[in-house]
């Protein structure tokens, strides 16, 4: 979630409790609805725009771990572009290596 608190913070317990509050399905749904985004929860019925996605069977959902791309696709694109731009790879080699770049 890219949220960090210093481990020596005098308010560590409060920060952890705040994060527990933020990641409840109710709060995630409300934040998503306020921003007009799809909720990261499985309950999409609260938003008419995304409700149909809630009916997709689990067997049809592909997780990033299954595809092998567990990092942001933008990172992969940047690493490929950097490799081509610096002459380390050809475009064809970068395309073939897409999804395997590490930082």
Greatest pairwise CA separation for the chain in angstroms = 52
Provide the residue range defining the domain that includes 100. 62-103
Give the pLDDT score at 101: 86
Question: Are both 53 and 10 inside the same structural domain?
Answer: yes
Query: How many domains would you assign to the chain?
Result: 2
Question: 48 and 9 share a domain?
Answer: yes
What does 7-26 look like in DSSP terms, one character per residue?
TT-TTHHHHHHHHHHHTSHH
- The per-residue pLDDT for range 82-100, each reduced to its tens digit, is 999 999 999 999 999 988 8
pLDDT tens track for 18-37: 888 888 888 888 888 888 88
The upper half-sphere exposure of residue 47, i.e. CA atoms within 13 Å in the direction of its Cβ, equals 22
| Contact between residue 64 and residue 70 where contact means Cβ atoms under 8 Å apart | yes
**DSSP class of 49:** T
């Amino acid at each position: 979630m890219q949220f960090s608190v210093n481990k020596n913070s005098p308010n560590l317990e409060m920060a952890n409790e705040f994060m527990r509050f933020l990641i409840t399905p109710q709060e995630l749904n409300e934040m998503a609805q306020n921003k007009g985004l799809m909720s990261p929860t499985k309950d999409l019925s609260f938003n008419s725009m995304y409700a149909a996605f809630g009916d997709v069977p689990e067997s049809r959902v592909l997780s990033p771990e299954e595809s092998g791309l567990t990092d942001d696709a933008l990172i992969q694109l940047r690493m490929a572009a950097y490799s081509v731009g610096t002459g380390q790879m050809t475009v064809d080699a970068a395309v073939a290596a897409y999804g395997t770049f590490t930082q």
